[in-house]
Every structure is written in C-alpha cells, then in structure tokens.
Amino acid sequence: MTEAPDQNKKFGASLRALLADAGLAPELLAREIRISPKYIDALLADDFSVFGAKVYAQGVLKKILLAVRVEDHSSWMEALHRSWGPSLTLARARPGGSAIIRPMTYVTPARTALGIGGVALAGFLFLVGARLVDFTSSPPLLLEEPSDGAVVRQPGIVVRGRTEKESKLTINGRELTIDASGGFGERLELQPGLNRLEFLAENRFGKTSRIIRYVAAE
C-alpha cells in the first residue's frame, strides 16, 4: 500500500492512489468514517474551497488515513499544506486570466514582527481547531470481522478491526485491547444460537461510535 504521497503527483491524485490500493471507494469510505462524501471528493479533486479552514481539511484527512491504516500522517499533512495555497489561489483568480499588478513591498521590522505574530497566532488557531475537530467528531470504528449475519460452526470467532488508538473499545461491555496503531483483534467465545455483538468505541471527549453485528453459532 502507498504509505507516502507521490511528490510528482498532485495531492488529490496521490490520495486517489492510496484509496485504490486500499480497495475503498469514496462513497463507502464516507459511510465508514461518517462524513459527507463531498469532503472526500473535494480532497480528491484538489478543491479545498468547501472547507472553511485548513484545519477542517486536516481533520477529514486524518480520518481517512486512520481508515486505510497509514501511520505516516506527517508527510500527508505536509502534502496537503503544499497544495492548499496554490489551489485556492487558482480557484479565486480573476476571470480572463488578466495579470494583477501590485506595488512593490519592502520588508521592515514592523512587518517582520507582524509576520511572526501572525505565524504564532496561526499555530495557536491550528491547535485549537484540531482540538475542536477531535471534540466534535466521533471516533472512527472499522470492523473487518465478523461480518453481519455470519454463521459459524465452532464455539469461538475472531473479532478484528480498527479504531482511534486513544479510544476505549468494548464488545457487549467487555473491554478490548487496542494496539499502538489503533488495531484490535481477539478471540471471542459465542453462545449456541444467535449472538448479538455490540462494538462501542468512546474517545476521551465522550464521543462514541457503535456497530452491531449478529452472528449465529451452530
């Protein structure tokens, strides 16, 4: 699977290649991570105008990377940062392609101080925005096994999937262990007949995601 974005491709093209390697269609991915498909389509098309601020695009990208099991988040965030400015500049260009001539500007101590202050403020707002995205979003919960409606002929099955590594995960009230990359996998004993399995992920802000699967044991 593609771990890092291709430096010779646009951000959207690299992201499309990542989803293709993972075998995930954008519509299915949107349902899995519980966001509107338009945000995934916007990232794939390098059209960032639908995001009110860069931090919201970063929040969506973080959920996508968790869903496809990419651990190298920093290179993808850097690629998004590089694409963000040029994309919005082209999107907001004046019709007709006429050049915009501006007077020459000079670097002064006051402008330098203002620029440093602006960078510090932007960094602070980024941290606040990232916290806000985490606070308002439910944790991702992807369940690979078992499938809903599965029928097994042994007393136990393996449950396997992925969630946010800082979250607490339970199945029918029993806590499961989550590894450093957010994956989980354990063997679960079943009762004869139809078993209702409720997977509940809760992040540190109290937001939850829930998946219910029914498995029959013969």
pLDDT in tens, 50-84: 898 999 999 999 999 998 888 889 999 998 988 88
**Residue-averaged pLDDT of the chain:** 83
Task: Render pLDDT for 93-126 as a digit per residue (tens, 0 to 9).
Answer: 444 444 444 444 556 777 788 889 888 888 777 7
139 cis-preceded (ω within 30 degrees of 0): no
Q: How far apart are CA 81 and CA 54, in angstroms?
A: 8
Q: Report, as an integer, the average pLDDT of 15-19.
A: 89
126-135 pLDDT per residue, tens? 766 656 665 6
Q: Tell me, what's the pLDDT at 131?
A: 62
The whole-number pLDDT of residue 2 equals 55
What structural domains and CATH numbers belong to the chain? 11-96+117-136 (no CATH), 141-217 (2.60.40.10)
pTM, two decimal places: 0.40
CA distances from 196 to 35, 103, 107, 148, 157 (A): 26, 69, 67, 10, 13
Q: Are strands 208-217 and 174-176 parallel, antiparallel or unpaired?
A: unpaired
> What is the distance between the alpha carbons of residues 161 and 40, in angstroms, rounded to a whole number?
22
* Residue 44, pLDDT score: 92
Q: Is the pLDDT of residue 91 over 70?
A: no
Question: How far apart are alpha carbons 126 and 121 in whole angstroms?
Answer: 8
- Sheet of 156-163: strand order equals 141-145, 156-163, 183-189
Percent over 70 (pLDDT), the chain: 83
Cα torsion 213, 214, 215, 218 to 10°: value is 170
Report DSSP state, residue 171.
Answer: E
